[in-house]
């Protein structure tokens, strides 16, 4: 799970610090849990519901810094069992590879598991790399864009969303599965869940605790330049002899610009 700037913040409110290659969110707007990660939480809860609520334990893992407690506890309020935060200032601006390495070590430190669920991508950079690298590091299959997950005798059966339909794949477990919003709206937390969550203390781990080295968090990607592209808005009123002619002129003009 990733804590991200609220994607509903208007883009104009963000400031791009070009000298530091950083995006600065507007001060005073609280972060949120990445939306697809709530879909992944919902997927986990559905698996737990399907298993009758017993014998399934859901651990939420987040890697980062400056966690806002009432934000990151949201999956707990929805019904997850445990929250593990790897909290270190060094983790503020990791690339996908470093994040996946830290996650892999954190996951391995938790003991055996059946499935790792991730959001399909994070709304801050929309890269969607972490789960793929993570599955590689863990050595398990990766199934992306899940819109439905069922546990079967031999593993899982997953419906993968495609642009023109969906694909059904079977996979052994353990596996890494990325979840898409087509899975359905994540449930609201309940007041009871919120109260229970506030009583839970997350497990907070340092990089040392899980044996992460400087090499692990070293960047593999270099961001060379971050800037807001200049954009220009031009309006052209297209007329014609009558409505039909105006439509024709519009179509011609759009073709001229290679837009249709």
Query: Rule CB under 8 A: which residues touch other proteins?
Result: 69-70, 73-74, 77, 188-192, 194-195, 197-201
Cβ distance to other proteins smaller for residue 34 or 135 = 34
At residue 102, the 3 state secondary structure works out as helix
Task: Kindly tell me the sign of the dihedral angle through the C-alpha atoms of 211, 223, 142, 136.
Answer: negative
Strands 32-33 and 115-119: unpaired
Sheet holding 203-205, edge to edge: 59-64, 82-87, 203-205
CB of 68 to other proteins, least distance (A): 9
Cβ distance to other proteins smaller for residue 163 or 201 = 201
CB neighbour class for 65 (10 Å; exposed up to 12, middle 13-18, buried from 19): middle
Q: How many C-beta atoms surround the C-beta of residue 201 within 10 A?
A: 8
CB of 62 to other proteins, least distance (A): 16
Cβ distance to other proteins smaller for residue 200 or 248 = 200
CB of 198 to other proteins, least distance (A): 4
CB of 260 to other proteins, least distance (A): 31
What whole-number distance in Å separates Cα of residue 196 and Cα of residue 198?
6
Cβ distance to other proteins smaller for residue 48 or 74 = 74
Angle between helices 130-138 and 96-109 (to 10 degrees): 50
Q: Which helix (H) or strand (E) holds 60?
A: strand 59-64
CB of 114 to other proteins, least distance (A): 28
Cβ distance to other proteins smaller for residue 83 or 98 = 83
CB of 71 to other proteins, least distance (A): 8
Provide CB contacts within 8 A for 87, sequence distance 6+: 64, 65, 67, 204, 205, 206
Nearest Cα neighbor of 119 from 174, 75, 70 is 75
Cβ distance to other proteins smaller for residue 187 or 248 = 187
Cβ distance to other proteins smaller for residue 85 or 158 = 85
CB of 189 to other proteins, least distance (A): 5
């Amino acid at each position: 799970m990733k804590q991200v700037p609220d994607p509903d913040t208007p883009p104009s409110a963000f400031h791009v610090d070009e000298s530091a290659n950083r995006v600065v969110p507007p001060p005073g707007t609280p972060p949120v849990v990445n939306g697809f990660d709530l879909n992944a939480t919902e997927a986990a809860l559905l698996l737990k519901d399907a298993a009758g609520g017993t014998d399934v334990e859901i651990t939420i893992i987040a890697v980062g810094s400056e966690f806002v407690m009432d934000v990151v506890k949201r999956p707990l309020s929805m019904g997850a069992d445990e929250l593990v935060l790897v909290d270190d200032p060094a983790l503020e601006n990791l690339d996908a590879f470093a994040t996946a390495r830290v996650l892999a070590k954190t996951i391995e430190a938790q003991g055996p598991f059946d499935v790792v669920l991730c959001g399909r991508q994070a709304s801050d950079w929309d890269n969607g790399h972490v789960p793929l690298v993570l599955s590689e590091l863990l050595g398990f299959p990766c199934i992306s864009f899940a819109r439905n997950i069922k546990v079967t005798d031999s593993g899982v059966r997953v419906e993968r969303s495609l642009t023109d339909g969906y694909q059904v794949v079977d996979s052994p477990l353990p596996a890494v599965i990325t979840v898409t919003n087509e899975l359905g709206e994540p449930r609201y937390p309940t007041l009871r869940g919120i109260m229970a969550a506030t009583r839970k203390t997350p497990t907070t781990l340092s990089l040392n605790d899980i044996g992460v080295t400087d090499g692990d968090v070293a960047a593999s990607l270099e961001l060379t330049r971050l800037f807001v592209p200049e954009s220009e808005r031009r309006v052209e009123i297209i007329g014609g002899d009558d409505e039909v002619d105006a439509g024709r002129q519009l179509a011609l003009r759009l073709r001229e610009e290679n837009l249709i």
